[in-house]
Amino acid sequence: MDCPVFTRYATREMSQIFSEEAKIQRWLKVEAALAEAQAELGIIPKEAAEEISKKANLNYVSMERIKEIEKRIDHDLLAVVNALAEVCDKGYGRYVHMGATSYDIEDTAWALAFRDALLIIRNRLKELVKILISKAKEYKELVCIGRTHGQHALPMTYGMKFALWSYDIFGCIKRLDFFLNNAIEGKMSGAVGTFAGFGDKGIELQNKVMEKLSLKPSLITNQIVQRDKFADIIYLLAVISACLEKMAKEIRNLQRTEISEVLEPFSKEQAGSSAMPHKRNPHRSERICSLARYLRALVHVALENVALEHERDLTNSANERIILTHSFMLTDFMLLEMISIIKGLTINVKNVQRNLNLMKGANLSERILIKLVEKGLPRHVAYEIVKNAAIKSFEEDLDFVELLYENELIKEKMTKDELKQLVNPYEYIGLSKEVVDLTIKQIEQLIS
């Protein structure tokens, strides 16, 4: 049975990076870099390195032959080594992989894959930030009700929602850049990290190999690059997915029939339900939330891989074939999905305004409380008056201002017209516009 990650969610770009052919080509590329570095240091003949480099690609080394050898010896990396050695002329194949261990090749190749895949993710994040900033500018002045604990709180703007999301995604870009610049490392240190197979030129050799591949050399390893670095990358992708889930969950909630402020894109021929033709389900946002749960679960597996036995065991190997490819592929899919959702998002301004005034001004209780205190009423007294009026207004569907004005203490402090002015939601959005402008300005200055 085909895996849905590959058949349903994999993008073309990520499929190209994590295909079996691409993996083998990376292994061959590392083998070529090793041979070239060894020749430069006089460890193997120059002619041998030239032959190995020439043949270290899938034009010479066939996938079919690799699979034939692997079936016999049950070792995928060694099958590649043997297949490469076979096609090298003049006996130069004997110099392939000399002094190296499997994970010198595999972990260095992983680093190449991480770099390429993270650059794709970065481009998606950057595109998403730009779209969110565009939406923040478009809706900077659209006043809406803010919600805390699922309840109506104070007025804010839709511009703030989009600007906040852009700041979240910008934070993901900064984390990703730190990882790209500091944590992608390769190794060429041998079976237990001592460089024994390369003699006294091991450290110099490792540096040369990594220079050829534009990678940083790991300062110290055992047989593998330490798996805390792999856990970091899985965690990074899980954080990105969590930020996307945060946006998707808000869109889902705002699309509830009772709220109906936001609508996912919905094509003319699209169906929401097989049984109920009226349904317009936020299924794309729900899908993002679903995949984010799976990605978070992979962090646990990655952390389990950190504490391997002695200089390493193989308990990380099988699951890494799954968690690394799945994490990148699903994160990439989720980003493209969210980019499409935000681009086509519909804001129902009429319902935004309806919900903003749903509590008849009671949600402006903070503003009234502050004004009463300023006019000399003790805070605890003012708080009780406003709270009781708000509750009664909501429960009995009565006018909030009229209820407040029935209180003699309120009458002593302000007029009814003053009260009505205080419950105007459009006049109590604080520095919403300024915060949006400041956020956009700083992100646009720093993003590249």
CA proximity to 124, closest of 37, 30, 14, 260: 14
Q: Is 183 exposed, middle or buried (0-12, 13-18, 19+ CB in 10 A)?
A: middle
Q: What is the mean pLDDT of residues 370-389?
A: 92
Report d(CA 255, CA 348) in Å as an integer: 10
252: in domain: yes
10: in domain: no
Q: Could you read off the pLDDT of 187-198 as tens digits, one per residue? A: 999 999 999 999
Contact 235, 328 (CB under 8 A): no
Report d(CA 437, CA 441) in Å as an integer: 6
Contact 401, 391 (CB under 8 A): no
Q: Say yes or no: 35 and 165 in one domain.
A: no
| Domain termination site, one of 337, 355, 373 | 355
What pLDDT is stored for residue 447 in this prediction?
84
437: in domain: no
Q: What is the mean pLDDT of residues 34-38?
A: 98
Q: Say yes or no: 212 and 308 in one domain.
A: yes
Q: Which of 75, 273, 290, 300 is catalytic?
A: 273
Q: Say yes or no: 137 and 78 in one domain.
A: no
Q: Is 273 an annotated catalytic residue?
A: yes
What pLDDT is stored for residue 265 in this prediction?
84
Report d(CA 195, CA 213) in Å as an integer: 19
Contact 23, 10 (CB under 8 A): no
Q: Partners of 217 in the beta sheet?
A: 186
Contact 96, 52 (CB under 8 A): yes
DSSP letter string over 312-377?
--STTHHHHHHHHHHHHHHHHHHHHHHHHHHHT-EE-HHHHHHHHTTTTTGGGHHHHHHHHHHTT-
Q: Say yes or no: 170 and 316 in one domain.
A: yes
Q: What is the mean pLDDT of residues 150-167?
A: 96
Question: Domain containing 403: what range?
Answer: 361-422
What pLDDT is stored for residue 12 in this prediction?
93
Cα atoms in the Cβ-side hemisphere of radius 13 Å centred on 130: 9
Give the CATH number, domain containing residue 81.
1.10.275.10
pLDDT > 70: percent of the chain: 97
Q: What is the mean pLDDT of residues 328-332?
A: 97
Q: Does pLDDT of 273 surpass 70?
A: no
Q: Say yes or no: 332 and 250 in one domain.
A: yes
Report d(CA 322, CA 305) in Å as an integer: 13
Q: Could you read off the pLDDT of 283-305 as tens digits, one per residue? A: 899 999 999 999 999 999 999 99
| Confidence band for 136, pLDDT divided at 50, 70 and 90 | very high
Q: Does pLDDT of 181 surpass 80?
A: yes
298: in domain: yes
Quickly tell me which residue has 């972990």 as its tokens: 107
What pLDDT is stored for residue 408 in this prediction?
87
Report d(CA 264, CA 341) in Å as an integer: 6
Q: Does pLDDT of 229 surpass 90?
A: yes
53: in domain: yes
Q: Say yes or no: 314 and 212 in one domain.
A: yes
What pLDDT is stored for residue 6 in this prediction?
85
| Confidence band for 270, pLDDT divided at 50, 70 and 90 | low
Q: Cα–Cα distances in Å, from 136 out to 130, 141, 248, 250?
A: 10, 9, 17, 16
435: in domain: no
The tokens describing 61, both together, are 């080394």
Q: Say yes or no: 365 and 261 in one domain.
A: no
What pLDDT is stored for residue 1 in this prediction?
61
Contact 72, 39 (CB under 8 A): no
In one-letter notation, the amino acid at residue 367 is: R
What pLDDT is stored for residue 43 in this prediction?
96
Q: Partners of 151 in the beta sheet?
A: 148
Report d(CA 288, CA 168) in Å as an integer: 16
| Confidence band for 271, pLDDT divided at 50, 70 and 90 | low
| Confidence band for 51, pLDDT divided at 50, 70 and 90 | very high
Q: What are phi and psi of 154, to 5 degrees?
A: -105, 160
CA proximity to 317, closest of 19, 127, 146, 76: 76
Query: What is the number of structural domains in the chain?
Result: 3
Q: Say yes or no: 200 and 216 in one domain.
A: yes
Q: Mean pLDDT in the chain?
A: 94
Q: What is the mean pLDDT of residues 145-150?
A: 96
What pLDDT is stored for residue 280 in this prediction?
80
Q: Say yes or no: 25 and 90 in one domain.
A: yes
Cα atoms in the Cβ-side hemisphere of radius 13 Å centred on 178: 9
Cα atoms in the Cβ-side hemisphere of radius 13 Å centred on 388: 11
Quickly tell me which residue has 């097989």 as its tokens: 274
Q: How far is CA 415 from the centre of its chain?
A: 53
Q: Hey, what's the torsion of the CAs at 293, 294, 300, 302, to 10 degrees?
A: -140
Give the CATH number, domain containing residue 343.
1.20.200.10
11: in domain: no
Q: What is the mean pLDDT of residues 135-141?
A: 97
Q: What is the mean pLDDT of residues 396-405?
A: 90
Q: Say yes or no: 39 and 179 in one domain.
A: no
Q: Say yes or no: 349 and 409 in one domain.
A: no
Report d(CA 284, CA 265) in Å as an integer: 9
What pLDDT is stored for residue 307 in this prediction?
96
The tokens describing 320, both together, are 């890494």
Q: Which of 149, 278, 310, 380 is catalytic?
A: 149
| Domain termination site, one of 355, 377, 400 | 355
Q: Does pLDDT of 434 surpass 70?
A: yes
Q: Say yes or no: 85 and 127 in one domain.
A: no
Q: What are phi and psi of 250, to 5 degrees?
A: -65, -40
| Domain termination site, one of 317, 337, 355 | 355
The CA-CA-CA angle for residues 351, 356, 362, to 5°, reads 145
| Confidence band for 275, pLDDT divided at 50, 70 and 90 | low
What pLDDT is stored for residue 436 in this prediction?
97
Give the CATH number, domain containing residue 371.
1.10.40.30
Flag the least confident range among 75-84, 94-103, 360-369. 360-369
8: in domain: no
Q: What is the mean pLDDT of residues 360-372?
A: 91
